[in-house]
Structure 1
Amino acid sequence: MSELTDSRKRAFTGILVGALAVATAFGIYQAYRSSEISDERDRFTVQSDSLMTVKNNLEEEINGLTKDLNDERDENAELVNKTEYINGLLAEKEKVVSKLNRETANLRKQGKSKDEQLTILNNQIIALNDVKVLMERNLSDLQANNANLISENTEWKAKYDELRTQSDELNTRIASLNKKVDDIIYDSPADNFRVEALKPNSKVTAKAKKAHTLKVSFVVPEMVKTSTESMQTLYLTILDDKNVPVKGAEKEVSIMKGEKLMPIAVHATQTVDFSKNPQNTTFMFDVKEKLAPGTYKASVYSNNDYLGTVEFKVRNSFLFF
């Protein structure tokens, strides 16, 4: 049993020695291999740095060449522009040369020598001098005539101012006379101007609440008849004591009073032939609202004239009358 154990120990020891030898050999190999890898890595690093340097140099050369190429391109573009400009100048030159050639040909066609042209110019100068002398003579005559015209113009201006003053005075007198005529016509009442308040049975009443119709009648004045056209439209307007139109006006018209338009409320209208003589005219106005007791005015107008106004009164109703 003891021999068996020793044999195992020797075997185990031999295995350990062999394993140690193998491990030592492997360690030596790995160390050698690691040294080779490190050397190779250093070699590759040096090669990489060298290649990087070459790359940087190539990039610098490429950038320089690119800049040179761009400069050349700009120079070429400038040369192209200059070439186009020069071509334009050459074309313009060709046009000018062609024009000069045409003018030269025209001058040659005229076939006149310098002497002939000078002779023509001298003759023209002589003719112009003659015209100048004639114009100077005419200028003297014109200056004399101008002095006469200025004198006559001063006289005519004085006469014009005098006539203008007379015209203004005459216009003022005419305006004054027209105003007087308008005032005379405006203040001339119609003849037999009267107003009657009628009941529904057409009987006359003086009571305000019983007045149903207002009858306005008059005779056209001779002055108006002779100063207007034969056919005229007449308008009746009725105002209270505050000059307010009574209710029931059918429309409003504008009539001429002098040179101004005057609006009036129309309560009744009548077309009259002024050529008839005598000319009796009657208006009938149906009262739309009961009249208040008081004083009223009935006025009659045509389109261009005032024919007159008459006042009338209506009163309150008392207990028995």
Structure 2
Amino acid sequence: MKGRNYKLSLLVIVPAMIIGACQKDINLPGIANDPMLYMPQSSRGTPFNAVEVVSREPGQKDTVYYRPYSAYLEGKELANQDIEVEFSIDHKKLDSLNVLELAAGRTAYELLPAGSYTEGTMKATIKKNERISSIQQFGINPKLLKEEKRYLVPISIKSVSPDLPVKSAFKTTYYQVSLTVPDFVSGTYTAGGMRNGDDYGTDPTKVRKTITKVANHTYDVNLIANLGPWCCSNKFTLKVNPADHTVLVSGHLEDAGNLLTNREGTVSTFDPATNTFVLFYNYSYYGFVAKMSETLKKL
């Protein structure tokens, strides 16, 4: 089977309205004559910098993607001694931003879930006679992320030794992380199964069907059983639980009262490795009830 990719977007943003000034923070335009530190990865001039990375799908080897963070010494002179810089994931910045997000009616950001990232050492050194610190790496494994979530990771300069001022507008780098899952499910499927109707006995059902994504983890199927447009209109929806790949079947046949439901005592499933649905459902048609066992396999 060909490998598939999940896209993960990282956006580096700096909402200036929430960057509070501490006692030693200085925010001067241009290049300062006196030494001053900032994070070169923080955004300048645009709301964010977008970076796309690619992750393996479930079942394949984990891929971790790294993004750098570091400190830069601004000023007329190079460092006259080693400068030690400590960074931290800044929870206060996240909380401050979420106050604004919620006030605007938007969903709050979350930190990345435990186990989905590595912080690196959170320490760096600007060597004597240099300006840029050693480069640290923040790693993200997208396997534990969810497509519908909003993630934000603020990394700030926490402390500097010897004590030097920090440029307040550029002391924090925000990684806004979002997962995009490409649609590998939609397409044409072969369908094989059995229909056990009260009056029709047991009939083999072998047709081709079209499955189309309509929302996250939700798909429409163009045919119920082998009942095509010559019979009646269909509403056949499959909702996949991404946690365990069980499938909820719903819909109706021609009239909204002719329900399509999961068959009691059975579990419908989806195998993402092979793009195969195994479905157990009932459908009714003005008093007639049929029980379907059906396997849909993508061509």
The alignment's TM-score, normalised by the length of structure 1, stands at 0.27
The alignment's TM-score, normalised by the length of structure 2, stands at 0.28
More helix by percentage? 1
More contact order relative to length (CA 8 Å, sep ≥ 6):
2
More strand by percentage? 2
Structure having the higher Rg = 1
